[in-house]
Amino acid sequence: LDEFDLIDRFFRRQRVQREDVALGIGDDAAVVRAPADGRLVVTTDVLVGGVHFPAHTGPSDIGYKALAVNLSDIAAMGASPAWATLGLTLPDPDESWLEHFASGFLALAERHCVQLVGGDLTGGPLCIAVQLTGIVGTSGYLSRGGARDGDEIYVSGTVGDAALGLQVVDGTLRVSEQDGAYLRGRLNRPVPRVELGRALAGRASAAIDVSDGLVADLGHLCNSSRVGASLEVDALPLSPAYRRALPGVGWEAALTFGDDYELCFTVPLGYVDDVERISRELDLPLTRIGRVGGDKVTWTMEGEPLSLSEHGYQHFRK
């Protein structure tokens, strides 16, 4: 089977057929209809085998995550995802691998009404590049740059689970079978907060998805907004599995490792009630972890300031 047969066989069978796609897979390029009164939001993420995921990760999980990380960026912009392209480099065209990869990718695409409109398949070290385009309407888009003094800072879901998931996968953390399955799932199948991002558009003043770790990503948000912030470590939302592991692993994973793909966002006081309503409607915890203000970003734990070292924050041992 050549490149075209493989694409035809594994990627053309998607169920999503969007009306705004004039020409999809199979031509030199795709043709889509841009919304008359909206804007397009474009993102791309590259995953390299052995760097961004352990080399032995299942192909269905890799396919899922390659799209999920892009959906998460679209979510952080408050946009609705629409069209994807896929650049796939494979050491050898293993049909079973491709079938599972495509099933993980296309099942998540279907859940978010994303149509795969094109791509490229080549030989080489395992590498997956996805480009995803989203649409924002009249409520506008979210960015990292709009936080203002006095805004409340929130994070969705729970943080640190993916970090512990990786420790479970590489054998450095022992937990119960049930907690292990949960934490591995959070690493391999992060849930992009697309509905949350859309609900926050027009309400949140700034947003970012947690891919590099909460401390780093909040730093990016505050830099872009040119604001400081005070954060409370004790307020961070941890899963029951993380809480059970906390005495051994400490807070560091929750603060400095990324890959959770939760949204961190700031909200003017006038919209705090909306955040509580959105949390109920989406059945998703949205936890207040601090406030925008001051001239730098400070973290406290039980009222004590944490000091920053070259290797990240210290004093997580409590």
Token pair 């890799």: residue: 62
Q: How far apart are CA 301 and CA 35, in angstroms?
A: 47
Residues 191-210 that bind Mg ion (CB under 5 A): 209
Yes or no: say if 277 and 220 are a contact pair by the CB < 8 Å rule: no
Segment holding 140, helix H or strand E: none
Taking the complex as a whole, the smallest distance from the CB of residue 222 to Mg ion amounts, in Å, to: 15
In the complex with Mg ion, the residue whose CB is nearer, 21 or 71, is 71
Q: Which stretch binds Mg ion (CB under 5 A): 71-79, 81-89, 268-276, 297-305?
A: 71-79
In the complex with Mg ion, the residue whose CB is nearer, 179 or 209, is 209
Render the burial of 173-183: b for 16+ CB within 10 Å, e for the rest.
bebeeebbebb
Question: Which tokens sit at 264?
Answer: 């961190």
Q: How far apart are CA 3 and CA 7, in angstroms?
A: 6
Residues 131-150 that bind Mg ion (CB under 5 A): none
Question: What is the phi/psi pair of residue 40, to 5°?
Answer: -100, 140
In the complex with Mg ion, the residue whose CB is nearer, 197 or 290, is 197
Yes or no: say if 128 and 208 are a contact pair by the CB < 8 Å rule: no
Question: Which tokens sit at 147?
Answer: 């936080």
Residues that bind Mg ion (rule: CB under 5 A) add up to a total of 3
In the complex with Mg ion, the residue whose CB is nearer, 179 or 217, is 217
In the complex with Mg ion, the residue whose CB is nearer, 219 or 293, is 219
Q: Of 195, 204, 44, whose CA–CA distance to 140 is shortest?
A: 204
In the complex with Mg ion, the residue whose CB is nearer, 22 or 48, is 48
Dihedral (CA of 253, 257, 263, 267) sign:
positive
**Applying CB under 5 A, which of residues 45, 73, 152, 259 lies at the interface with Mg ion?**
73
Taking the complex as a whole, the smallest distance from the CB of residue 99 to Mg ion amounts, in Å, to: 30
Taking the complex as a whole, the smallest distance from the CB of residue 273 to Mg ion amounts, in Å, to: 27
Yes or no: say if 283 and 230 are a contact pair by the CB < 8 Å rule: no
Taking the complex as a whole, the smallest distance from the CB of residue 210 to Mg ion amounts, in Å, to: 8
Taking the complex as a whole, the smallest distance from the CB of residue 261 to Mg ion amounts, in Å, to: 9
Q: How far apart are CA 284 and CA 158, in angstroms?
A: 10
In the complex with Mg ion, the residue whose CB is nearer, 106 or 132, is 132
Taking the complex as a whole, the smallest distance from the CB of residue 75 to Mg ion amounts, in Å, to: 9
Binding of Mg ion at residue 45 (CB under 5 A)? no
Taking the complex as a whole, the smallest distance from the CB of residue 79 to Mg ion amounts, in Å, to: 13
Binding of Mg ion at residue 151 (CB under 5 A)? no
Q: What residues make contact with Mg ion under the rule CB under 5 A?
A: 73, 209, 211
